[in-house]
Amino acid sequence: MAESHSRDAFVEFERVQKSYDGETLVVKDLNLSVPKGEFLTMLGPSGSGKTTCLMMLAGFETATHGDIRLGGTSINNIPPHKRGIGMVFQNYALFPHMTIAENLAFPLEVRKIGKDEREKKVKRALDMVEMGKFGGRRPAQLSGGQQQRVALARALVFEPELVLMDEPLGALDKQLREKMQFEITHLAHQLGITTVYVTHDQTEALTMSDRVAVFDDGRIQQIAAPDILYEQPENSFVAQFIGENNTLQGVVKEIKADNLALVELDDGELIDCKPVNVSKVGERTQVSIRPERVEFDKKRLQPGAHTLKAEVLEFVYMGDIFRTRLRVAGNDDFIVKTRNAPDQRRLQPGEQLEIGWLPQDCRALDA
Partner 1 sequence: MSDTATNAPVLAADGTPLKRSLSRALRVQKMRALALIAPLLIFVLISFILPIGDMLFRSVENQIVENTLPYTVDELAKWDGASDDLPPEPVFRDMYFDLFLAAEMKRHTRLGSRLNYESSGMSSLFRQAGRKLDDPGDDAQAALEEVDPIWGERETYYQLFNAADGAAVDDALLAAQEKRIRSLADEKPVGEMNFAPSAEVSGLLPLAARVYTSFAVITGLVENKVVAKTKPMESLYLALLQDVTRPDFKADLAAYNGPHKEALTALANAPLLAPNYTEIFTDVDKEWANVETWRIIQTHSGPYTSGYFLNAIDMQKTPEGAAVQPENKRVLIQLFIRTIIMSLTIMGACILLGYPIAWLLSNLPMRTANLLMMLVLLPFWTSLLVRTSAWKVMLQQNGVVNDVLVWIGLVADNDRLVLINNQIGTITAMTHILLPFMILPMYSVMQTINPSYLRAAKSLGATNWTAFWRVYFPQSIPGIGAGSILVFILSIGYYITPEIVGGTKGVFISNRIAYHISSSLNWGLAAALGTILLVVVLALYWCYDKIVGIDNVKLG
How many CB atoms are closer than 10 A to CB 338?
A: 19
Q: How far is the CB of 114 from partner 1 (least distance, A)?
A: 16
- The span from the CA of 213 to the CA of 155, in Å, is 23
Nearest residue (CB) to partner 1, 95 versus 182: 95
Nearer Cβ to partner 1 (157/289): 157
Q: Give residue 263's identity as a one-letter amino acid code.
A: V
User: Are 20 and 69 contacting, i.e. CB atoms less than 8 angstroms apart?
Assistant: no
Smallest distance, partner 1 to C-beta of residue 96, A: 7
Q: Cβ–Cβ contacts within 10 Å for residue 52, how many?
A: 24
- Strands of the 219-224 sheet, one edge to the other: 85-88, 162-166, 194-199, 39-43, 211-216, 219-224
Phi and psi dihedrals of 74, rounded to 5?
Answer: -70, 135
Site string for partner 1, 134-173 (x = CB under 8 A): --------------------xx--x-----x---------
What is the contact mask toward partner 1 in residues 104 to 133, using x (rule: CB under 8 A)?
Answer: --xx--xx----------------------
Nearer of residues 57 and 289 to partner 1, judged by Cβ: 57
Residues that bind partner 1 (rule: CB under 8 A) add up to a total of 27
Helix, strand, or coil (residue 256) = coil
- CA torsion sign for 317, 323, 328, 330 is negative
Q: Helix count (H) and strand count (E) of the chain? A: 9, 19
- 81 or 179, CB closer to partner 1? 81
C-beta separation of 48 from 27 below 8 A: no
- 315 contacts partner 1 (rule: CB under 8 A): no
Q: Which is nearer to partner 1, 110 or 225 (CB)?
A: 110
Could you tell me which stretch among 12-20, 93-101, 141-149, 295-303 binds partner 1 (CB under 8 A)?
A: 93-101
Among the listed residues 95, 141, 225, 333, the single contact to partner 1 using CB under 8 A: 95
State how far the Cα of 128 lies from the Cα of 153, in Å rounded to an integer.
Answer: 8
Write each residue from 62 to 91 as x if it is in contact with partner 1 (CB under 8 A), else as -, in one continuous string: -----------------xxxxxxxxx-xxx
Q: At closest approach, how far in Å is the CB of 206 from partner 1? A: 27
CA dist list (Å): 81 to 86, 111, 119, 329? 10, 10, 22, 58
d(CA 255, CA 290): 22
Supply the minimum distance, in Å, between the C-beta of residue 55 and partner 1. 9
- Interface residue with partner 1 among 7, 8, 45, 60 (CB under 8 A) is 60
Among 4-12, 103-111, 187-195, 339-347, which window interacts with partner 1 (CB under 8 A)?
A: 103-111
Q: How far is the CB of 93 from partner 1 (least distance, A)?
A: 4
Alpha-carbon gap, residue 223 to 226, rounded angstroms? 9
Interior angle at CA 59, CA 25 and CA 87, nearest 5: 115
Please state the closest distance from residue 92 (CB atom) to partner 1, in A.
8
Q: Which is nearer to partner 1, 59 or 250 (CB)?
A: 59
Angle, helices 115-128/144-156, rounded to nearest 10 degrees: 130
Angle, CA 52 vertex, CA 234 and CA 109 arms, to 5°: 130
Find the shortest distance in angstroms from Cβ 163 to partner 1: 10
| 132 torsion bin: left (phi>0), alpha (psi -120 to 50), beta (else) | alpha
Least separation in angstroms between residue 196's CB and partner 1 is 13
CB closer to partner 1, 92 vs 215: 92
Exactly one of 22, 96, 282, 342 binds partner 1 (CB under 8 A); that residue is: 96
Q: Please report, as ranges, the residues that interact with partner 1 according to CB under 8 A.
A: 58-60, 79-87, 89-91, 93, 95-97, 106-107, 110-111, 154-155, 158, 164
